[in-house]
Structure 1
Amino acid sequence: MPIATPPENELARLRLLRSLNILDTPPEESFDRIVRIVAELTKVPTALVSLVDADRQWFKAKVGLDACETPRDVAFCAHALHEPEILIIEDASKDERFADNPLVVGDPKVRFYAGVPLRNAEGLTLGTLCAIDYQPKTLNASVILAFKDLARVLERELLQRSAAVDSKQVWDQEREAKQLSESRFRLIFDEAPTGKAIVDLDGQFIEVNAKLCEITGYPAHQLTQMTFRHITHNDDLAQDLSLLKALLDGTRRSYQLDKRYVCSDGSLIWVQVNVALVRDAAGRPLHYIAVVIDISERKRAEALVYDYQHHLESKVERRTEELARSMDALQTITDNLPVLIAQVDQELRYVFNNDVYRQVFGIDPRALKGKRIADVLSDELFAELEPYFIRALKGERGTCDNVRYTASQNRVWSATYIPDIRNGVVNGFFIMSQDVTERRLFERSLIDQAMRDPLTQLPNRRALDQELAALLAQQDRKPFAVFFLDLDGFKLINDLNRP
């Protein structure tokens, strides 16, 4: 069974872990709440906040497990310390790193494990937020993302504890300064990787370390002549003062605030400030301890995300306006065409109608949107046209040449039904209907001229041939007879009266 090697920063990691004074402490709701959420989110019986000590992993919070700790040699979390984001073992019995692990081959027979490393701002890994199941399992991308977000919340809890420990250490050092040498105090205070300051009750800096000078761009001798108001952006000052008042009132023990500092060159920098109030043994306020972290990179990233989102929203708005203009133009064009035009969805409801519908049906085309075709056409006409609708919804184009929309208007229409196919899917169909009444009358006139004698207006020889051909073409025709009538002298009369 492979044993996880310690991280390269193992000594610094252990120092930080033990400085938090969190090992072997009683349960806390802020941690217990996280593991309950993880267990529900990932649908596992066991979830843990595991802190990896030198030779053990100890559980600060747990769901579904009685043990308080396990040896580090068998701990899955010891392997997770090396992962940049998350370690997921879908089936430990098939993973060569864990197949012979005592926790896999024996009770509790672990199969699934997912652990997100918990790190501080300097990248030191304290442990993991993990989920365990005794059956193989997979997590989808959204659950993994939420799992990581919960780990970040937990890191914030540990970071606040770390900041509080830092503040307490500074406070303890100040209280012991009477006994310790000034050089030792300076070493602890000045060499810290975060900005630190002791601030009096009026807001003036009493002591500042090198990191705070680096963040603000001011040398120490200038900062100690200034108050925090001088370097705090005006828009952030009111909230800062309100939180300080809460410290003095005793309604808060500490606070954390993201705000902007005005640097020596006039530029702005985003910082996270953790502030605690130091009181004497009698409870009287003495001064503030401030721990300052540069978060300008994080804010720049957030600004980029915001700008990109705003850019997308602007594009959507512009596109919406363009579509609206296009629809207006389309409505204007179609309203002025002598053609009945409509768009129908898959449920045979009107999506679009041009103004010709007002002329034919006497209905405002805007009132037709969403109405079913069956509610607009007569029952007889709907039954006649329904087969064309069905064919169009199947992706077939069809034309009906003899449509009479209203009985009161003796008009004949030729309607074409065109499928609306997008990405291979039929979303409905378009109706293009043209008034062919005049054309039909003209065609009928031509037929009459061809089939009737101009003098007598009786059917001629061509009409007779056509009728006979039609009768002979019938499959189930009945017997019929043809009678001939000879009119003596009719040819002379016909010739004399022919123009």
Structure 2
Amino acid sequence: MTKRKSQGFPPIPSNESRRLAALLRFELLDTPAEAMFDNITAMAAQLCETPIALISLVDAERQWFKSRQGLDASETPRELAFCAHAINGESLFEVENALLDPRFRDNPLVTGAPDIRFYAGMPLADSEGHNLGTLCVIDRQPRQLNVQQKGALKLLAQQAINLFELRLQARQQREQAALHKAILSSVGTAVLITDMEGVIRQVSPGVLPLLGYEVDDLIGQSLGLVLPDEDRQLQPDPARASINCGSEQASQRETSARHRKGQRIPVLFSLAPVAIDGSQQMGYLCVLNDLSYREEALQRLQHIAEQLPGVVYQFQLHSDGRSCFPYASEGLRDVYGLQPEDVQKDASLVFARIYPDDLAAVTASIQASAENLSVWHQEYRFLHPTKGPIWLEGRATPQRRSDDSILWHGFITDITQRKHLEQMKSEFVSTVSHELRTPLTSIAGSLALINGEALGPVPDAMREMLLIAQSNSQRLRQLIDDLLDMDKLLAGKMSFVPQRLDLDSFLTDCATSHQGFARQHDVQIDYAGGIVTSVMADPVRLQQVLSNLLSNALKFSPAGSRVLLSAQALGGHVRVSVADQGPGVPADFVDRLFEKFSQADASDRRQKGGTGLGLAISKELMERMGGAIGFHPRPEGGAVFWIDLPALLQDETL
């Protein structure tokens, strides 16, 4: 630092980092000599009557001369540069006699070649005020510039910076032109640039695959050559030539373009004005995007949809409640008895024919799917104009659009025949169950009397067979009871008598009543008790649900394990849980856990008996009582089945 001060080291400008960045942006350093800059230094030397004139650019460590007159060196260290002092000001920096100036008298450029005595430098500032260097004149004799010379040097310096800017703009324009040419050559679509009269001046290679024209075939032709007669209004209008580009708007529409062989090609035609920096409009940019693929895709979709049962559709629900079917396959005629165009903009005709008792459920399911973006799935009845009431099943996946509407993609099928078969099966099962129940009750009762030795001692040779018969008759009776319960639930004939129940007492009784079954399986039932909450439920049906859950837990628990019965209040409801330490529920079976006749082991060799109806019945019972049922695995192994019931406040009455 001391050495630099002794040599008059020039101070660093306060905006040095930005100044250096601006200098690099012009890309002038280490470039070949250019006549336009040499002309300026020659004129500066002549006007100022000096042997040396320079255009000096001050870099981080040096000053480099873009143009020089009367000097062989192309650069000098920055710490020796007079120009490095000049860039710290905004006006002419003049040294009349360097030998008398303490900043320069020891400078090697003064004490040796080129023996500088006089220096005058005008800063070269860009449009943002960054001093990039100087236009300077140098003499080997002490002297001073007159007023005219100072003015001339200032004007020449301004001309030099103007040339810097023009040179930068020219380079940028060359780069943009090269980029434009590369884009135009590589773009896959057809791009045409016309003048204000609609004459094509530039063309992209994309016109060949789209329209069959070589690039040279269209240069100089009218844009109307590739547009059908009825779409000639899309051509640039010469009358608009005088309109400033800032007021012009790009236009876009679907139309057809004319192929070289005469056929029409569906395209998206875009027309935009071309101008530079708000100047007068120069022409138009025309883009033709091929829409043939869309037509082909629609035709493929239509052919596929025609082979599918039912209707493939899109349903759109707007934020203001309006709904429509933007797309529906031809199957809509069979399913709804409507034409696709009847509902393309308004879906009210469909909702008007939904069976009145099912309309609220359908509307609610659509709303829930929209709110949660979950899959919509619903079975409902529909009043077909020719078939009468039919059953339909719909499934669709929602998608939120940018306009905040929801668009579903899905299908609807006619399931009337399936529903009819299900009804026939249900009626058959119900009839058979009722017919079997009375004789089976008599058989089971008789076997119980025999095995209970009410009719006398049972011979040892017959005892085992009679016990097997009694066990199987009890299992068959349970199956029939479950079938009849399910039949009543589906038919809406099962009665419910809700009562206020003290949950703690109720669960205590449930645990006690299952102790005998628990001992048979060498399993212990634990109930902590202590919950002070009342619930509203039918005690018989609630007992049936809990009995099913406890029996399953005990049946599937290993010997010596425990089953935990617990309850906890959760806001406005109470959750009762039954947790076991058994094998748990297979992951691939969880989704079918509460379906009718579903069993994790459905083979005829399964070790645990059951009808596969218990959980399905429990689900129906809980929903009819305003509750819910569910399952989750225990982290430490086993399964937890739970039921939720509405809790009653202390002051609530029946």
TM range (shorter): 0.3 to 0.5
**TM-score, with length taken from structure 1:** 0.37
Q: Please tell me whether Structure 1 or Structure 2 has the larger radius of gyration of its CA atoms.
A: 2
